Amino acid sequence: MIKSLLVMLLCVFCLPARAALDASLVRQLADEDSSRKVAAISALTQAADPDALRVFKAMDEDSLFLAGGKVVVIDGDQAFDAVTGVPLKAPDSPEPISVNNRIRGELANAMAALKLFDSDAGVRLASAQKLQSKAGPELAPLLARALEKESDARIKDLLTLAHAQANLANGDPGARLAAVKALAGSSSPSVKSLLLPLTDKSLESNTRVRYAAITAVKDIDGRMALTENLGRVFSGLSLGSILLLGALGLAITYGVMGIINMAHGELLMVGAYSAYAMQSLFRAYFPDAIDWYLPAAVPLAFFAAALVGVVMERTVIRWLYGRTLETLLATWGLSLILIQSARALFGAQNVEVANPAWMSGGIELMPNLTLPWNRIIIVGFALFVLSLVWVLMNRTRLGMFVRAVTQNRAMAGCVGVPTARIDTLAFALGAGIAGLGGLALSQISNVGPDMGQGYIVDAFMVVVLGGVGQLAGAVWAALGLGVFAKLLEGWAGAVIAKIVVLVVIIVFIQKRPQGLFALKGRFAE
Amino acid sequence: MRQSMTIRILSALDRKSWLALATFLALTLVAVPVLHLAVAPDSVFHVSAYAITLFGKIMCYAIVAVAMDLIWGYCGILSLGHGLFFALGGYAFGMYLMRQIGRDGSYQSDLPDFMVFLDWKQLPWYWSGSDSLWWVALLVIVFPALVAFVFGYFAFRSRIKGVYFSIITQALTYAAMLLFFRNETGFGGNNGFTDFKRILGYSITSPNTRLVLFGLSALMLALTLIFARWLVASKFGRVLTAIRDAESRVMFIGYNPLWYKLFIWTLSAVLCAIAGALYVPQVGIINPSEMSTANSIEIAIWVAVGGRGTLIGPIIGAFAVNLAKSWFTVSFPEYWLFFLGLLFIVVTLMLPHGLVGLWKTLRQSRGARA
Amino acid sequence: MREFLRKVIGIDPEKCSPEYRVGYSGKRRTLDLSHNVILYLEDITVSFDGFTALNKLNLAIDAGELRCIIGPNGAGKTTMMDVITGKTRPDSGTAFFGQSIDLTHLSEPEIAHAGIGRKFQKPTIFEQHSVFENLELAMKTDKGAYTSLFAELGDDERDRIADTLRQIRLDTQAERPAGLLSHGQKQWLEIGMLLMQEPKLLLLDEPVAGMTDDETMRTAELFVSLAGKHSLVVVEHDMAFIKELGGKVSVLHEGSVLAEGDLDSVQNDQRVVEVYLGR
């Protein structure tokens, strides 16, 4: 106890003594001329004395005063000597030191720079990150010193970048060249914009530096294009997953029953509204567990859509087997009724379905490549549903029956497969999967009565491309279509991309009329 | 035994049908104008401007329905892309109407308002010539025909049929709709073309112009019907139905279905486009929503309600459904979609031959009882 | 450019030239019977996903011959007909009609024009059309779309249809919709349609399936009377019928010809017995 008191005392006495600032520079802070103030700030920062932080902070908070030719910090009714930090008697008529916006900016930078010498690594890291975008040439020596002292590898990397940036305006071509070379490894757009002036002949006279800058910009462009494309591939994958969820159900119903269900998009809508309903339920009764409404909505979405599917199959589709074009029209009628029902139940406007907290944010893979959690989870969810369907189709009795009916309805009936019940079950399954797709969709797009219409064309394209009744075909077609569309969107815009995709599909069907994974031989008419 | 073309066209319809057609033309070309212009507006016999526009519009739809029947009813190809051809015809003619506005638009510019709004300095190249009615009339026919021909050639050549074809046409229409939604496409984006003022210098809202457009629609409908009747009665028509019923047999006896399908498909598209061109000046607006999937499928339901493969059925269907629509959307707007949805289901489930089929069955059963 | 058209869009520029249209003009590809052989199949192989339907099949049919093809299910009989009529393209091998017409490069309608008619296993006729119209559609004439628009039947054409109607014993049914005929009558109608095409070679896939014995015998008579003027290839399981036809018999097994000869010698062939009865 006594010991620690002693230490504290020691500190109190030692600190000011050790950290005395250059008095003339501190005095200069109170100069009338802003430029001289700035020069003083800069000079004080160069000294890399953490004690200057105290003065800067006071200045920034407008509590730095000039009293009797001395610069003092006045905090409430206490006063300190700005140079030594020693408490003083409160002066009688302190003159405030004016701080304009320019000075404030300088102060902010200076304080950030000084934090580089903080003992806490976290503070240093934050400071280094802050300096990434605004390391001016005056900071170069400071950064060099901080770099020397730094031991943490991550902070060191950041400092190296900042140091190089600061050196870009250095008068010495050698220093500039070194800086450009150090920055060439970056992949951030802001570094690129820093380097761009150096590629201009009128702004950079040294040829070697200019060439190095040109190469560096090229390198950065290459890396940026890569990350951008990676980002697009990823959003393509997540779009593909949605398409897959939509198309899986369609592939089952079309494969098994040979019917085109135009109301499939509305089954997606049923799933999305299930998420909305479950969210409202949680908001009303379990507001604490609101983040968990989504998992709770999974079974609801599946069974609600499946139920609608069963009703559709039993009342309408059942009577139209073998008349595909008529089924197309009848199911379109069903879709109109479903849309209007949704309007009557939930209103014509879009409803708001919020992401649970655990789905917001993302993983930052690279400086300008962030994978949002909601999309990652959707990709995972699609994989999960896909594997579930695969197991169901290939490892269960129901799946075997379904495959039997797909291949040869009459023969399956002859060997005792209850084809009528299989139809209903398969339709319910396809509808349920669409419901799950709608649930996933509710997390990344608007939920409204006619949301299904936009996705149905794409889902059909997947089925057409993938071939009828082929799970593998649907998977490859969905992912391929998603990634292809997103990559195209990158350089041609969304509409042109859609049109190009359509044209590609039409051309593709020229070559393989039965889709990617077609049945061949005598069964293929 | 070779007959002249005139005789064969005359024999395309029987006497009763010619009589019905003549009555129809007398009504639309003589009676309606008289009742509209010469009868006082408060009289029971006065035909209102609203009624003329409504029936003129429905007659355009009826032309589309006949075109759809040719391809679907007779050749078994269900197109979900007829809305596209209708809209293409409408847009082509709309270009002319936009140019006829002249400097009377909100910006008092030679360019259509939306181009001024986009800060365009001159007309895009594909607008050149759009101030000439004849050029535009040519465009109404040639451009949709070209689109239909190229698309049809590739689709039919690779033997895309059944629902595959329907879906591909749906996707085509969808893509075109997205294209027309873009402002850069140069067709007014979202808003399309509207605020027309004149046609051939005559005010587009004057009763006379309206009656002429109405009469032209009626005439076009009559011509379409006669031509279609002649076509399906020819050997060409028999090959079409043969393709519908057993395409592989048709191939193995030496017909190439490609050219038959392509001909009827392109013809059907052109009829739609002409209907669209007649429709736009009467309704006064054309925008990309004409290409929505819903519109194209609705055409199919007109045909199904009336009765496929009967030519007269689709006309009846177009009138029945559209009159119901205009009544519903005024009286019970929220129930229209329910009604339309049910109509789709009931017709496909219970009335596979439509109203015409129902009437025939009823007459037969009465004949059997008597 | 030609390569581009052929590879990318699939248009063969050669096929666009008018003289290519076999049967319309027939200038370039008339049937050449100089070696008295109407059909050559050489080393035809067709496989679907690893299953070999035809395995180096060799077959030659003489002009005017009546040939019967027998074989167990899956021997490749239908696939062979698909190859000849252009429905299936062989993976390798050549198929020639006469000396000069390469069937593997023609489409179904072109092959029909060249003079090959086919009857399917399941009778395929136009059920909505009348019997008369079925025959009218099949009749040998210019079958282009444009011609059909303005085509009209002449008197001699009506006579020909009437003749064929009598030949297939459907003259009393001429105006009935074909869908209302009995199964046997449908078979006859399809044969009638084949005759209207005036083909040089007739491929008949199980023509007497579903016929009564009486009808079967009459069909045999008809076929025998056709032979000589036409060449016929008949696929059948009915041995009595084949005996009645009395032509040469080829036995197909696992995609190639196992044995050839008259019915008696084939029936006594040890390998054929094994194939049909199993070991």
Alpha-carbon gap, residue B250 to B161, rounded angstroms: 15
Domain ranges of chain A: 15-104, 118-205, 226-511
Collapse the DSSP code of A399 into the 3-class scheme (helix H, G, I; strand E, B; otherwise coil) and give the result: helix
Supply the DSSP string of A422-459, one letter for each residue: HHHHHHHHHHHHHHHHHHHHHTTS-B-TTHHHHHHHHH
pLDDT confidence tier of residue C4, bands split at 50, 70 and 90: low
pLDDT confidence tier of residue A487, bands split at 50, 70 and 90: confident
Distance of CA C105 to the CA centre of its chain: 17
Are B129 and B135 within 8 A, CB to CB? yes
Q: What is the DSSP letter of A363?
A: E
**What region does B245 belong to: left with phi over 0, alpha with psi -120 to 50, or beta?**
alpha
What would the mean pLDDT of A225-251 be, rounded to a whole number? 83
pLDDT of residue C19: 39
Q: Which of A162-167's residues contact partners 24+ apart within 8 Å by CB, and which partners?
A: A162/A128, A162/A131, A162/A132, A162/A135, A163/A135, A165/A132, A165/A135, A165/A191, A165/A194, A166/A135, A166/A136, A166/A137, A166/A138, A166/A139, A166/A140, A167/A137, A167/A140
CATH for the stretch A226-511: 1.10.3470
Supply the DSSP string of B40-98, one letter for each residue: -TTSTTPPPHHHHHHHHHHHHHHHHHHHHIIIIITT----S-HHHHHHHHHHHHHHHHH
Looking at the complex, does the CB of residue B348 fall below 8 Å from at least one CB of chain A? yes
On chain C, the residues whose CB falls within 8 A of the CB of A511 are 10
Are A155 and A128 within 8 A, CB to CB? yes
Looking at the complex, does the CB of residue A8 fall below 8 Å from at least one CB of chain B? no
Handedness of CA C46, C50, C53, C58 (dihedral sign): positive
What's the mean pLDDT when you consider all of chain C? 81
What's the count of helices (H) and strands (E) in chain A, helices before strands?
21, 7
CB atoms within 10 A of CB B154: 18
pLDDT of residue A513: 61
Are A73 and A58 within 8 A, CB to CB? yes
Contacts of A among chains (3+ CB pairs under 8 A): B, C
pLDDT in tens, B190-236: 889 988 888 888 888 888 899 999 999 999 999 999 999 999 989 99
pLDDT in tens, A59-99: 888 878 887 777 888 877 777 777 777 777 777 777 778 78
On chain B, the residues whose CB falls within 8 A of the CB of C152 are 1-3, 235
Is the pLDDT assigned to residue B91 strictly greater than 50? yes
pLDDT of residue A368: 67
Is the pLDDT assigned to residue A11 strictly greater than 50? no
The angle, 0 to 180 degrees and rounded to 10, between the axes of the packed helices C183-196 and C213-226 is 10
On chain A, the residues whose CB falls within 8 A of the CB of B334 are 340, 343-344
Are A509 and B158 within 8 A, CB to CB? yes
What's the mean pLDDT when you consider all of chain A? 79
pLDDT in tens, A187-217: 677 777 777 777 777 777 777 778 888 888 8
pLDDT confidence tier of residue A126, bands split at 50, 70 and 90: confident
Kindly state the greatest CA–CA separation across chain A. 110
* Residue C25 belongs to domain with CATH number: 3.40.50.300
Cβ of C133 and B157 within 8 Å?
A: no
pLDDT in tens, B283-337: 999 999 999 888 999 999 999 999 998 999 999 999 999 999 999 988 888 889 8
pLDDT of residue B40: 81
pLDDT of residue C242: 87
Q: Which of C9, C10, C48 sits opposite A520 (nearest CB)?
A: C48
Are C136 and C126 within 8 A, CB to CB? no
When mean pLDDT is compared over A139-143, A226-230, B56-60, the highest value belongs to B56-60
Distance in Å from the first CA to the final CA of chain A: 94
Q: What is the DSSP letter of A354?
A: P
Supply the DSSP string of A78-140, one letter for each residue: EEEETTT--EEPPPSSPEEPP--HHHHHHHHHHHHHHGGG-S-HHHHHHHHHHHTT---GGGH
The angle, 0 to 180 degrees and rounded to 10, between the axes of the packed helices B312-331 and B336-350 is 150
Is the pLDDT assigned to residue B186 strictly greater than 90? no
Which of B325, B348, B353 to substitute to test the interface with A, most A CBs within 10 Å? B348
Q: Chain B residues contacting C, CB < 8 Å? A: 1-3, 157-158, 231, 234-236, 238-239, 241-242, 245-246, 248-256, 259-260, 262-263
Looking at the complex, does the CB of residue A523 fall below 8 Å from at least one CB of chain C? no
Alpha-carbon gap, residue A221 to A215, rounded angstroms: 10
Task: Please give the interface size between B and C, counted as residue pairs whose CB atoms are below 8 Å apart.
Answer: 90
Looking at the complex, does the CB of residue A477 fall below 8 Å from at least one CB of chain B? no
Q: Which of B174, B340, B349 sits opposite A316 (nearest CB)?
A: B349
pLDDT confidence tier of residue A14, bands split at 50, 70 and 90: very low
Q: Chain C residues contacting A, CB < 8 Å? A: 9-10, 48-49, 51, 53, 78-79
What share of chain C in percent tops pLDDT 90?
Answer: 3
Looking at the complex, does the CB of residue B342 fall below 8 Å from at least one CB of chain A? yes
Contacts of B among chains (3+ CB pairs under 8 A): A, C
Alpha-carbon gap, residue B257 to C143, rounded angstroms: 10
pLDDT confidence tier of residue A478, bands split at 50, 70 and 90: confident
pLDDT of residue B261: 94
Cβ of B252 and C117 within 8 Å?
A: yes
Q: Which of C11-15, C73-77, C128-132 has the lowest mean pLDDT?
A: C11-15
Is the pLDDT assigned to residue A30 strictly greater than 70? yes
What's the mean pLDDT when you consider all of chain B? 89
Cβ of C145 and B3 within 8 Å?
A: no
Contacts of C among chains (3+ CB pairs under 8 A): A, B
CB atoms within 10 A of CB A414: 10
Strands A369-372 and A362-366: antiparallel
Measured in angstroms, the CA of B359 and the nearest CA of chain C are apart by 20
Number of domains in chain C: 1
Collapse the DSSP code of C255 into the 3-class scheme (helix H, G, I; strand E, B; otherwise coil) and give the result: coil
What would the mean pLDDT of A471-477 be, rounded to a whole number? 79
Measured in angstroms, the CA of B176 and the nearest CA of chain A are apart by 8
On chain C, the residues whose CB falls within 8 A of the CB of A510 are 9-10
Domain ranges of chain B: 2-292
pLDDT of residue C77: 85
What would the mean pLDDT of C225-240 be, rounded to a whole number? 86
Alpha-carbon gap, residue B28 to B30, rounded angstroms: 6
What share of chain A in percent tops pLDDT 90?
Answer: 11
Distance in Å from the first CA to the final CA of chain B: 40
Match 């989870």 to its residue by tokens.
Answer: A377
Interface pTM, i.e. ipTM = 0.88
- pTM beyond cutoff 0.95: no
